[in-house]
Structure 1
Amino acid sequence: MRHGRSQPLPWSSLHPPCPPPRPLALRSTIAGEIRSPEAPLRRLAIALLTMLAGLTLFSSSIQAQDDSDTPETTAIEVGRVDVLQVSGFFDPILVNEIESAIERADADGSQALILQVNSRGTLVDDSVIEDLLDQVATAPIPIGIWVGPNGARFYGTAAQLLAVADVTGMAPGARVGYLGVPLTPDEATIDFGIAEDRLRNGSVGLTDARALDIFKQRIDDDGIPTVSNMLQAMDGYEENGIVLDTTELVVLDNGATRFDTISVVRFSKLSLVDQLFHTVASPPVAYLLLLIGLALLIFEFFTAGVGLAGGIGAACTVLAFTGLAVLPTRPWAAALLMIAMLAFAIDVQVGIPRFWTGAGIVLTVIGSWFLFEPIPGASMRPGWIALFAGIGGITLTFIVGMPSMVRTRFATPTIGREWMIGEEGTVIEDVDPEGVIEVGTARWRARINRATPVSAGGSVRVVAIDGVTLDVEPLEGAARDYREMRNKSDDASTQVDAPGDGAEADQPDSGSETTPEPNAAAEAVSDPESSDLR
């Protein structure tokens, strides 16, 4: 308990307020009694002094009582146990966090530290793991390792920590193994006994691990499914004369017993920034960040100015290479992905997906498949979902999205594109029903507006514009159909006006304006040769 502390006297008690500048004979009458105006202030000061004196005496009595009781009683503190969640590959960030957790637990006075591990491999050198083994073996507090929860894995050379930890256990469904060659730390010896050969290039589950005596569970059960069970396993462990007190046995009314946790459990994990860099060192995340970053940089290259896409693309690329530097990356595969982006950019510049787009897709598939080298216990190849998302997204982006964006970007939206209606163009790729034409010096994706395909080298006329696609019609076919329709209409009108004059019906006056009768118009439309007009 904190000691009482005297407070300074109020200013009003040391320096009574001066009376106001009024005549000395002035008095105020209250309830028939004559009093001076400074009397209330004087009474307030006396009351404050009395309260301060009382508080001082009360604090002194409490302090004296605490001092007299201190030699007779000792406070019993419930020990705290720290639990660090270790998830993902053992990279430099995770190793540093484990070392910091050991120092932090010792400085905070924790009873023990439990590492909750779920890791499929090790990405650091053996020398780093040897230093970590020495720190765990010589830790000033007991260190427990729990491979959990259900389905967790502990693979790689980092799994040799099981040989130097004080208490170890695993959950049902978990597996450990692929330890590799035993390391040689300075302060510990790695010895798994008869299980060493099996764990070097393989893994075992709970049943085999108990049979091979791999774990130091200290409790007789079918695994350690939860952290509470791990605390029970550590209860009663003694080190340097200190016995861990983490659980207590409770007898229920029906005679049954159970173990209740009496320790304060403090969970911890990586900080936000460390978690970010630890996450980008995962194969699927680094792979997708690389593709997204490079694609956004190309997108920004074909747009005006430096915008949001370029900033996001640069950030994604930096994070991707940060992860690739930690992961077992094949440099030639990463180079293939960058060459693929250059191939895509060539056809984006042209505006039409061609040979280089196909080459870019092939290079993307090869680079994605062989980007990472396998490690013991893990192939490191991104999952099927990540591969389909990466390859499929890049393919759609550079076949559909980027060409449309470039045409829209370099078009003339200020004056519109209506001037192209009626213009003639040359077919570059067969329009059947879609293809590519050239109008002026620009190439456009075209779509025929009738069931008459036009081969490469033919001529077409633009009749409509649909976004960045031109609706076209063949020059010769459109002119012939129009003349035939006009002639049939004139013939029909002439026959109605002069049915007996055969000469005039055969040679209608081209300069006269006639309106065909409804039956004549219907006959003209029903003609097979003119029925394809819109």
Structure 2
Amino acid sequence: MKQGGKLGRLTVQTSSLVSCARLGWPGCVPRDLRIVRTGRGVVVKAAIVRLVLFLLLFSAAFVAPHARADTTSQVVLVRVKGVINPVTAAYIVRGIDTAEQTSARAVVIQLDTPGGLMDSMRDIIQRMLASKVPVVVYVSPAGARAASAGTFITMAANVAAMAPNTNIGAAHPVSGNGQDISDTMGEKITNDAVAQIRGLADERGRNADWAESAVRESKSLGERDAVRQNVVDLMAEDVPSLLRQIDGREVKTPAGPVILQTADATVVPVDMDFMERFLLMLSDPNIAYLLLSLAMTALFLEFSNPGAILPGVVGAIALLLALFSLGMLPINYAGLALIFLGFILFFAEVKVVSHGMLALGGVISMGLGSLMLINSSAPYMSISRPLIAGVVLAVALFFTLVVGAAVRALRKKPASGQEGLIGQIGVARSLLNPEGYVFIQGARWDAVALEGEIQTGEEVIVTGVEGLRLYVMRYLEGRPGLRPGPTVTVREITDGEGIHPPLLTTGDEIDRQNDHQED
């Protein structure tokens, strides 16, 4: 139905206003409507405006609440596999922070670890105890373990679960080399660990006596016995099964009691970022050893060839990364010193003629240092024996063959140009009295004999060059002071007739010549 009012030649379509008013929409007044002049008058077009407003209100009323529901129905999943160290601790802390920021219903730590550093373990436990979001530790997948530091982390969880064919325990503290800590210090550390794990077990309502025995006696349990002895809360096949089983449980957090609602929750994995993966890779003892070897090799190349730049840059970067990596590992400084000594001996072999003795000493020193470098008997803290053998052999060959050949090439007398002719042996092609011709390096040269006549066919040795003229002497293989090669020197001598061109002499010959001049 169309209703209208007339004012001169202007007409206003009011049916839209009536419908708008019936809906009770705000802002439904004539001044909010767009007026368009037509040939017969002005028609108010309000239908498009109403549609846009309706869509906006629908989005605000329905879409936004659903988005918030998706965020709050999440369960954050953190996957930990490997040694507990500062990198792993930072990753777990970031996962718990993410769960709190997104108001997730829980955070699940999927754990598989042989143990690790106590300081990193304590950082993780402190963050778990302070979490406002329930923390679930799930020892998984099949074949995984929560040993040593992993036992403490599992005990600190609001809910502890294990997958089939997993185990927990063996939490006795050991020194950096994997051995028992003896005497008073060992007793103090053990008692401190017992107090901590009993406190965690009591806080979470678990078997504190078994927890103490895991520390004092290194006891371990499989998943079924762990559930039966109240060490963990339940056994689950996978993460979805875990979330269904813990749904409806009430747990205590610093923010107060929380009833878990995880049956229909969406699992959102929080994986390690690039920097965390890179730092975790550096914490591998094998990577640390490779970086150290690369750094030492590159830096020795830079020191032996100043200005090469690239070896220095690569060596400096590798050395800094190696120091960071070794800082997370229990290293033996005697082993580190032996590795340095091995590189020094390899370098000395290139500079000094030792008939291989220095190289042999370098192999022995670097090999022993490599075996001693990591001060731990734990398998996950050791350097691969085949890797040690390969690196030591490669470094030894590199220094003795590659670097040695380069140094010998630098020491070699120039083989071209005027300098290359000094010390060369040729044949007289004419009588030198004192001038004549000689044949050297496949070419005929004008030559001047510096001592007496030299007959055609006699061997001569070049002692000096002046333009295209050579100064030669009769070459006698056994004659002292006139043997060619890199050990001879070029000097000038004088006699009563003036200055001769340079002669190829040794120190003994010069002394004899100087004595002759004084006479």
Asked if residue 160 in structure 1 is aligned to residue 152 in structure 2, the reply is: yes
Contact 1:336 1:367 in 2 (8 A): yes
Query: In structure 2, what is the equivalent of residue 79 of structure 1?
Result: 73
Q: CA deviation at 1:359?
A: 1.0
1:135 deviation in Å?
2.8
Matches for 1:325-336 after TM superposition, within 5 Å? 325-336=327-338
Give the distance between the partners of 2:48 and 2:412, measured in 1 at CA.
85
1:85, CA displacement in angstroms?
1.9
Other-structure match for 2:183: none
User: What residue in structure 2 maps to residue 306 of structure 1?
Assistant: 308
Q: Provide closer, same or farther for how the CA distance between residues 385 and 234 of structure 1 changes in structure 2, counting only shifts above 3 A.
A: farther
| Residues 83 and 114 in structure 1, CA contact (< 8 A), matched pair in contact too | yes
Q: Which residue matches 2:296?
A: 294
| Residue 231 of structure 2 is aligned to residue 214 of structure 1 | yes
Q: Compute the displacement of 1:387 (Å).
A: 2.1
Kindly provide the CA deviation profile for residues 197-219 of structure 1, in whole angstroms up to 9, marking residues without a partner as x.
553235444355345442222x5
- For the residues of structure 2 that align with 1:188 and 1:58, how far apart are their CA atoms? 63
Which deviations, in whole Å up to 9, do the C-alpha atoms of 1:69-98 show, x marking residues without a partner?
99x999864710111122332222322332
* Partner Cα distance (1:158, 1:282) in 2: 19
Residue by residue over 1:164-218, the C-alpha shift from the partner in whole angstroms, topping out at 9 and shown as x without a partner, is 202222334434333234354599534644533553235444355345442222x
| TM-score (normalizing by structure 1) | 0.59
8 A Cα contact 1:184 1:190, kept in partner: no
1:329-408 equivalent positions in 2, closer than 5 A: 329-350=331-352, 354-374=356-376, 378=379, 380-408=381-409
Distance 1:422 1:245 in 2: 96
The equivalent residue for 1:90 is: 84
State how far apart, in whole Å, the 2-side matches of 1:66 and 1:132 are: 42
Q: Are the structure 2 counterparts of residues 282 and 228 from structure 1 closer, same or farther at C-alpha, using a change threshold of 3 Å?
A: same
TM-score w.r.t. the length of structure 2 is 0.60
Q: Are positions 1:441 and 2:433 aligned together? A: no
Listed as ranges, the matches of 1:137-286 within 5 Å are 137-180=129-172, 181=190, 182=193, 184=195, 188-190=199-201, 192-196=207-211, 198-200=213-215, 201-217=218-234, 219=235, 224-239=236-251, 240=256, 242-247=258-263, 262-286=264-288
Measure the CA separation in 2 of the matches of 1:65 and 1:292. Answer: 64
Pick which of 321-330 and 142-151 moved more. 142-151
Give the 3 Å change call, closer, same or farther, for CA 54–406 of structure 1 in structure 2.
farther
Residue 94 of structure 1 aligns with an amino acid whose one-letter code is T
Does structure 2 retain, via aligned residues, the 8 Å contact 1:81–1:110? yes
Q: How far off its partner does 1:158 sit?
A: 4.5
Change (3 A) 1:340 1:96: same
Q: Is the 8 A contact 1:157 1:178 kept in 2?
A: no
CA distance in 2, matches of 1:410, 1:230: 72
What's the offset of the Cα at 1:63?
A: 5.4
Residues 494-533 of structure 1 deviation map (CA, whole Å, 9 limit, x = unaligned): xxxxxxxxxxxxxxxxxxxxxxxxxxxxxxxxxxxxxxxx
Checking the alignment, whether the CA contact within 8 Å between 2:198 and 2:209 is kept in structure 1 is no
Q: 1:144 to 1:347 in 2, by over 3 A?
A: same
Work out whether residues 291 and 318 of structure 2, in 8 Å CA contact, stay in contact via their aligned partners in 1: yes
- Do the aligned partners of 1:136 and 1:165 also contact (CA within 8 Å) in 2? yes
Q: Which amino acid aligns with 2:131?
A: A
* Contact 1:281-1:326 within 8 A present in 2 as well: yes
- Mean CA deviation greater in 151-160 or 358-367: 151-160
Q: How does 1:402-481 map to 2 (within 5 A)?
A: 402-411=403-412, 415=416, 440-441=485-486
User: How far did residue 266 of structure 1 move?
Assistant: 1.4
The one of 88, 91, 96 equivalent to 1:102 is 96
Q: 2:50 aligns with which of 24, 46, 57?
A: 57
The one-letter code of the counterpart of 1:399 is: T
2:319 alignment partner in structure 1 = 317
Unaligned 5+ runs, structure 1: 15-40, 248-261, 425-437, 444-534
Aligned partner of residue 189 in structure 1, secondary structure: helix
Displacement after TM superposition at 1:374 (Å): 1.9
For 1:17-32, list aligned pairs within 5 A: none
Residues 242, 205 of structure 1: alpha-carbon distance in 2 compared, 3 angstrom cutoff: closer
CA distance in 1, matches of 2:27, 2:406: 75
Q: Given that residues 142 and 164 in structure 2 are in contact (C-alpha distance below 8 angstroms), is that contact kept between their aligned partners in structure 1? A: yes
Contact 1:91 1:122 in 2 (8 A): yes
Residue correspondences, number: 371
| CA-to-aligned-CA distance 1:278-334 (integer Å, 9 cap, x gap) | 221221111111112111211232335233222222211111111111211111111
Following the alignment from structure 1 to structure 2, what is the Cα–Cα distance between the partners of residues 332 and 204?
39
Q: Kindly indicate whether the alpha-carbon contact (under 8 Å) linking 1:106 and 1:141 is maintained by their aligned counterparts in 2.
A: yes
Return the alpha-carbon distance in structure 1 between the equivalents of residues 280 and 142 of structure 2.
Answer: 23
Deviations 1:109-140 (A, max 9, x none): 11110112222232243xx5345323313421
- The aligned amino acid for 2:74 is R
Per-residue CA deviation, residues 407-462 of structure 1 (Å, 9 max, x unaligned), is: 345546783999799799xxxxxxxxxxxxx972379xxxxxxxxxxxxxxxxxxx
Is 1:114 the counterpart of 2:108? The answer is yes
Cα distance between partner residues in 1 of 2:404 and 2:366? 19
How many percent identity over aligned positions?
21
Q: Distance in 2 between matches of 1:98 and 1:207?
A: 27
Q: Deviations over 1:201-245 (max 9, x none)?
A: 35444355345442222x5xxxx4533333334333333564333
One-letter amino acid of the counterpart of residue 385, structure 2:
W
Post-superposition CA distance 1:378-399 (Å, at most 9, x none): 4622123322332232233223
Measure, in 2, the Cα distance between the counterparts of 1:176 and 1:285: 29
Q: Distance in 2 between matches of 1:336 and 1:150?
A: 42
CA distance in 1, matches of 2:68, 2:296: 62
- The 1:66/1:196 distance shift into structure 2, 3 A limit, reads closer
3-state SS, counterpart of residue 200 of structure 2: coil
Gap change, CA 1:358 and 1:205, over 3 Å in 2: farther
3-state SS in 2 of match to 1:356: helix
Which piece of structure 1 moves more, 198-207 or 102-111? 198-207
